Structure 1
Amino acid sequence: MSVPRLALTPGEPAGIGPDLVVQLVQEPFPAELVVVSDPDLLEARARRLGLPVAVRRFDADAPPAPQVAGWVTVDAVPLSAPVRCGQGDPAQAHHVLTTLERATDGALAGRFQALVTGPVHKGLINEAGIAFSGHTEWLSERTGGALPVMMLVAPGLRVALATTHLPLRAVPDALNAEHLRRVMTVLDRDLRRRYGLSTPRILVCGLNPHAGEGGHLGDEEQRIIEPVVASLHAEGLCVIGPLPADTAFTPERLAQADVVLAMYHDQGLPVLKAQGFGQAVNVTLGLPIVRTSVDHGTAFDLAGRGGADVGSFRAAVHEALRLVAAS
């Protein structure tokens, strides 16, 4: 395919997502970027930021054309209510989810080769009475229920998660042998398929301090993680661990790994974001579509003020293009 077509969703309309879109389309890209959003929202945010933007409506029957600086191609989804920058409103939940549905269904149907998502506000969607724990879980359900694996990519580091958006007290109960085996299998398969690694080296963190200290600080390593690692290693996967998380990210360890598998969200992501915040990309493995996203939230305090950094959104588009090219 000479010119891929990507769907972009800005996410929460009162946050920095629309800012990022109008900043991003100031640049040319070797792909057609189709923003699934309300065109009036994007034009209003561009005016507020003092950026030139010309809107054209998306035509699915026209051949895809590369992104031209200063133009934004929009697949229109009306807002659910007026938007005030920096003030989230649960009334927009329907709009946010409709943009995701339109973009995801388009990717499943082949109209888009990838989906790139801006930040949503989970709390506002839940306040609207819609159970929503995050893009990752929602996309899994929408695309057929495959196990999604959340992996963040920064320069020189990849971190995947065995569990995603769970309260900390729920993590141990979610770590069973079957689940861990499936996560590691997806991770191995997609690093081969999408990243071209012939034998992905997966460094596995323990759950407890010191990886359980031989069972004295918790036994999940002995009961669950170690047997899964040993079983997959016997099947030919290159899995290493479980290792204490406080030493898993040292340069010596990282030199032996292509990805670190953390057991829960805040075990691995603070390290990655400290190293590459603003350049990191969230990639959802295990889905039948290519999906990338920013590494940050809605930043209501920056919305419409001109201080939003487009770096992670730009990196997410480029990562999506690399993954599409490898497909």
Structure 2
Amino acid sequence: MPVERRDEGNLVFGYLDTASADLSGASDTVLVRARAGDEGYAADMRPSRFGALSGCDISGEQEIRVMPRPSPAAPRPGHLLGLLVSGRGELEQDGRLAALTPGDFVLYTGARPFRLELGSSHRYFVLSLDSGTAGQLASADGAVTANSALPRSPSGRVLAAVLGELAERAQGFGPLARRDMGEHVSAILRTLLRETSLSGPAPSTGGAGVLERILGYVDERLADDLSPGVIAAAHHISVRHLHALFRESGTTVGDHVRRRRLERIRRDLLDPALAHLPAYALAARSGLGEASHFSRVFRAEFGLSPRALRAQTGEGLGAGMD
């Protein structure tokens, strides 16, 4: 764990951005101040990698305050997902203060000021998010950074449980399992972000069963014609009723179909068994056959191109599209 003592505190880097050998190029630099006075900072840090996600399990006995100190020469700091495994803490960012108890997670970004307080005898598990999920988080920043309500939502409870297990068992996973775990965390987090952005009420009880059948129908036929007329006819309802069911869930038929197709393509791009197939072939078999359109909507949804996604996770295929 590289640490540089300064008058203002201790500059710590390389715990997430492990490829950076010096302070000037590290994107994860933070200023850590021990609350007990002018003493150095010491902690047990165990970095790990979960596909596109970098993680670090941090255990310390000091009461500390952490603030971002990015180097102007380093890449822009990204978004972070932190879980308090033990001890106590709080995070302040964007005018919100989230108190943390064991099992709570919090979202924040190193690109803006934050203050993370961790009490004595703490253990904190932090992940840097992949570009696609971070892009989705950026669009919802005002609602989710330092938001203490997120771990209490249905998807938030699932995410907290997964993060807790990941922190405890990270060192026991092999390379493929690590990558899969990273994908699972990203998928649950994206679901949580979508739920957070919804403003409409939950579907009525009567419509929920119909909607569940429609959602399953869509997932099973992503390569087929999934226009509203086709979906409505297959379930013996009117197109107007179909639109109303999705509107009550806070989305539209077209947006849901597009998102499910893109998520299937994203999963396929990261599947080693499909590494021989170019991105446009994976897109075509999930119903997005027009190359220019697919590339544009994929980048808009995940914040990077299909080729960049594969390169980010080590697949790095030459075939594909930007």
**Short-chain TM bin:** under 0.3
Q: Which has the higher contact order (CA 8 A, sep 6+)?
A: 1
TM-score normalized by the length of structure 1: 0.27
Q: Work out which of the two has the higher radius of gyration on C-alpha atoms and give 1 or 2.
A: 2
